[in-house]
């Protein structure tokens, strides 16, 4: 990627803070480098609902002062000492798309990408920050028989400058030394996928939307937003606890047990089914276009911790399912193993940010 995703200070960090500002909560992870080993210092989450006089778990829109207040409270509660940080930008606040361009020299390609990108961006190009990168060719697609030119697959990212200003304002008011802003997609991929995986679909179930990423060898090939999130399935944290109480009944008839649990909590599996139906549609289209199978799906995000969701999703998608465990990429206290495994999917973005900060 270009300037937006670079470490603007150009120095190596021994301690770094990943800050994930979501629609229903803020999550932070502080990592440090100790004797060459990435180590977890602290982590924490704070619900944003109460800052808008809403219930915990509700997706809300807060202005920078309120977000700053919440972030300061979280930093204090988690006893985070580092102020060198990277912040995530929600995928829904950006535009990510692919373009095919003829292979030319780098300078000419940059000009061509920026010119062609105007066709995809619904606002004046002067109002966005634009970055792009060449996606490695793992498909070996056949070229048009009547065209001998070689084409490149370009991943383009556009973020409105007002969005960047908002997150920078929060960072400044919180007293953070902001080193980069990164779209949550790339942070998630960094923390939950190994680069030796050939074809993986990541299903990130957030509070207000679900994000779907198709990744090959650690490089994103496709992103897609589904306008349904866990808030549609779980109305508050109390509901989560009630669903967790039926975990012991999920040893047999997983799908039925999940539906019964949702019914008891005045929710239905309809929204989850809609997410899975759209996921199957996107995956099938991708497999048909590129003539390859995707044999692994990784679940992450707050909605992925719903009791019984893994066997339900596995049955629906008919593929191998894994729950993301991003804390695996850090050294952590043994007594926290179970806690971190349960909490991991919700902290994937924050961990990905902190990992990048340390690697820079």
Q: What is the pLDDT of residues 327-338, one digit of tens each?
A: 999 999 999 999
Domain spans of the chain?
A: 3-92+162-233+269-359, 93-161
pLDDT bucket at 230, cuts 50 / 70 / 90? confident
**Residue 92: pLDDT above 70?**
yes
Whole-number pLDDT of residue 302: 86
Q: Could you confirm whether domain 93-161 is CATH 3.40.50.2000?
A: no
Phi, psi (rounded to 5 degrees) for 297 = -120, 135
Least confident of 64-68, 165-169, 243-247: 243-247
pTM of the model: 0.83
CA dihedral 181, 184, 185, 186 (to 10 degrees): 40
> Nearest-CA neighbor of 84 among 169, 8, 185, 26?
8
Would you call 215 helix, strand, or coil by DSSP? strand
Assess whether pLDDT exceeds 50 at residue 317.
yes
User: In terms of pLDDT, which residue wins out, 58 or 47?
Assistant: 47
Is the four-CA dihedral 166, 167, 168, 171 of positive or negative sign?
Answer: positive
Tokens of 188: 């998630």
Please tell me the predicted confidence (pLDDT) of residue 243. 46
Enclosing H/E stretch for 168: helix 161-174
Output the CA angle 350-352-357, nearest 5 degrees.
95
pLDDT tens for each residue of 234-285: 553 344 445 445 444 444 444 555 555 554 544 446 788 899 999 999 999 9
Band (157; pLDDT cuts 50, 70, 90)? very high
Residue 188 in this model has a pLDDT that exceeds 70 = yes
Report CA-CA distances (Å) from 209 to 91, 226, 250, 334.
Answer: 10, 6, 26, 33
Q: What is the pLDDT of residue 57?
A: 82
Read off the pLDDT band of 158 (50, 70, 90): very high
CB distance 31 to 354 below 8 Å: yes
Residue 222 has pLDDT above 70, yes or no: yes
pLDDT, mean of residues 33-53? 95
Q: Rounded to whole angstroms, what are the CA distances from 135 to 222, 223, 251? A: 11, 13, 42
For the segment(s) 3-92+162-233+269-359, the CATH number from 3.40.50.1370, 3.30.420.40, 3.40.630.10, 3.90.870.10 is 3.30.420.40
Q: 233: exposed, middle or buried (C-beta count within 10 Å: 0-12, 13-18, 19+)?
A: buried
* 55 pLDDT higher than 60: yes
State the pLDDT at residue 218: 86
Distance of CA 271 to the CA centre of its chain: 20
User: How confident is the model over 104-115, as pLDDT tens digits?
Assistant: 888 899 999 999
Residue 344 has pLDDT above 80, yes or no: yes
Instruction: Give me the pLDDT at residue 112, please.
Output: 92
What is the secondary structure of 67-130 as a DSSP string?
HHHHHHHHHHHHT----EEEEEE-GGGEEEEEEEEE---HHHHHHHHHHHHTTT-SS-GGGEEE
**What pLDDT score does 259 carry?**
54
Mean pLDDT, rounded, of the chain: 85
In this predicted structure, what is the pLDDT of residue 148?
A: 56
At residue 59, the pLDDT reads 86
The answer to whether 3-92+162-233+269-359 and 93-161 have equal CATH topology is no
User: pLDDT band at residue 71, thresholds of 50, 70 and 90?
Assistant: very high
Q: Are 344 and 337 in contact (CB under 8 A)?
A: no
């Amino acid at each position: 990627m270009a300037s937006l995703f670079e470490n603007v200070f150009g120095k190596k960090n021994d301690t770094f803070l990943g800050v994930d500002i979501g629609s229903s909560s803020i999550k932070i992870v502080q990592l440090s480098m100790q004797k060459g080993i990435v180590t977890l210092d602290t982590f924490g989450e704070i619900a944003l609902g109460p800052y808008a006089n809403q219930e915990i778990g509700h997706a809300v829109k807060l202005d920078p002062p309120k977000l700053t207040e919440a972030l300061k409270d979280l930093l204090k509660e988690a006893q985070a000492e580092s102020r060198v940080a990277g912040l995530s930008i929600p995928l829904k606040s950006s535009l990510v798309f692919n373009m095919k361009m003829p292979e030319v020299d780098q300078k000419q390609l940059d000009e061509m990408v920026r010119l062609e990108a105007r066709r995809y961006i619904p606002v004046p190009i002067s109002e966005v920050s634009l970055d792009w990168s060449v996606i490695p060719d793992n498909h070996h697609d056949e070229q048009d028989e009547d065209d001998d030119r070689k084409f490149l697959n370009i991943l383009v990212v556009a973020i409105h400058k007002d969005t960047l200003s908002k997150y920078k304002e929060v960072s400044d008011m919180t007293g953070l030394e902001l080193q980069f802003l990164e779209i949550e997609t790339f942070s998630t991929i960094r923390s939950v996928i190994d680069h030796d995986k050939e074809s993986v679909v990541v299903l990130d179930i957030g509070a207000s939307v679900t994000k779907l990423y198709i990744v090959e060898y650690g490089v994103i090939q496709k992103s897609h937003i589904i306008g349904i999130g866990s808030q549609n399935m779980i109305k508050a944290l109390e509901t989560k606890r009630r669903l967790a109480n039926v975990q012991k009944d999920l040893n047999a008839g997983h799908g039925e047990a999940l539906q019964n649990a949702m019914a008891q909590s005045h929710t239905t599996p309809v929204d989850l089914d809609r997410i899975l139906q759209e996921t199957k549609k996107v995956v099938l289209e991708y497999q048909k276009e590129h003539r390859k199978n995707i044999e692994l799906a990784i679940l992450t995000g707050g909605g992925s911790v719903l009791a019984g969701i893994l066997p339900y999703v596995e049955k629906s998608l008919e593929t191998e399912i894994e729950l993301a465990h991003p804390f695996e990429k850090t050294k952590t206290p043994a007594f926290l193993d179970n806690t971190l495994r349960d909490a991991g999917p919700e902290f994937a973005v924050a961990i990905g940010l902190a990992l990048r900060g340390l690697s820079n």
